[in-house]
Amino acid sequence: MTATRTRLVLGNWKMHGSLADNAKLLSALLAAPRVASTAQMGVCVPFPYLAQTAQALTGSSIAWGAQDISTQAQGAFTGEVSGAMLNDFACRFVLTGHSERRAMHAESDQIIADKANAALVAGLTPVVCVGESLAERDAGQALVVIARQLAPVLALGADAVQKMVVAYEPVWAIGTGRTASPEQAQEVHAAIRAALRGVGAEQVQILYGGSVKAANAASLFAMPDIDGALVGGASLVAEEFLAIAS
């Protein structure tokens, strides 16, 4: 069938930035003429910079969001940030289950599904990240791992899943300069698409992430099931990020 999915290019600033550096980056993004691009752009920034980002980007075509969300609505959860708080800054997106949070904060597949659900309850778009480690890939387990990671998310049902974005980020390609080949990525994206189709959510955007740069973005986007990118390091450099989205 014909793909009707809009290309989506999201930056994940991770734990980078300062008020001064962000001001420069955001104004460089805003200054660029984007007439030729049909891609939707967005940036997922550290919590303390949501106010600055919202102020800079309000009224522009660039969306913004956060990098994590609590499963809880409110209460004694020190250090956590709720969906309602993200709404106070007009966030559109929130990353859930980034591999760095899975690895460093022991977030389980179920916790990540709960976070995706919390985002939906707040009216935010969760960007559910999945991806295998190098050991899992070498053991031929990539698709099994992705299926396991997705299972509790898909269990939320078609109505919920249709409002999500999925990002495939192989752990071995993140920050390493080693991108998955377009064919390697497409194989996994096709499997994710099949799983989404299985729950009636075939048109969900599936982003690729892991060392995406201006030099490799076009070959990735040429694949039928790669609908955009989740960009780490290159999203901190305005020209690179803009070139990826152009």
Tell me which residues in 150-189 interact with ligand 13P (CB under 6 A).
Answer: 169, 174-175
Q: How far is the CB of 175 from ligand 13P (least distance, A)?
A: 4
Backbone φ, ψ for residue 65 (5° rounding): -170, -170
Q: Which residue is nearest to ligand 13P (CB)?
A: 232
Question: How many CB atoms neighbour CB 52 within 10 A?
Answer: 17
Question: For residue 161, which of 122, 205, 130, 207 has the smallest C-alpha distance?
Answer: 205
Q: How far is the CB of 137 from ligand 13P (least distance, A)?
A: 16
Is 233 among the residues that bind ligand 13P (CB under 6 A)?
yes
Residues annotated as catalytic are: 98, 169
Per CB under 6 A, the segment of 113-121, 144-152, 198-206, 228-236 that binds ligand 13P is 228-236
Is 65 among the residues that bind ligand 13P (CB under 6 A)?
no
Number of helical H runs and strand E runs in the chain? 11, 8
Tell me which residues in 1-40 interact with ligand 13P (CB under 6 A).
Answer: 12
Find out whether 153 and 163 touch, Cβ atoms under 8 Å.
no
Is 216 among the residues that bind ligand 13P (CB under 6 A)?
no
Q: How far is the CB of 103 from ligand 13P (least distance, A)?
A: 11
Per CB under 6 A, the segment of 17-25, 79-87, 184-192, 206-214 that binds ligand 13P is 206-214
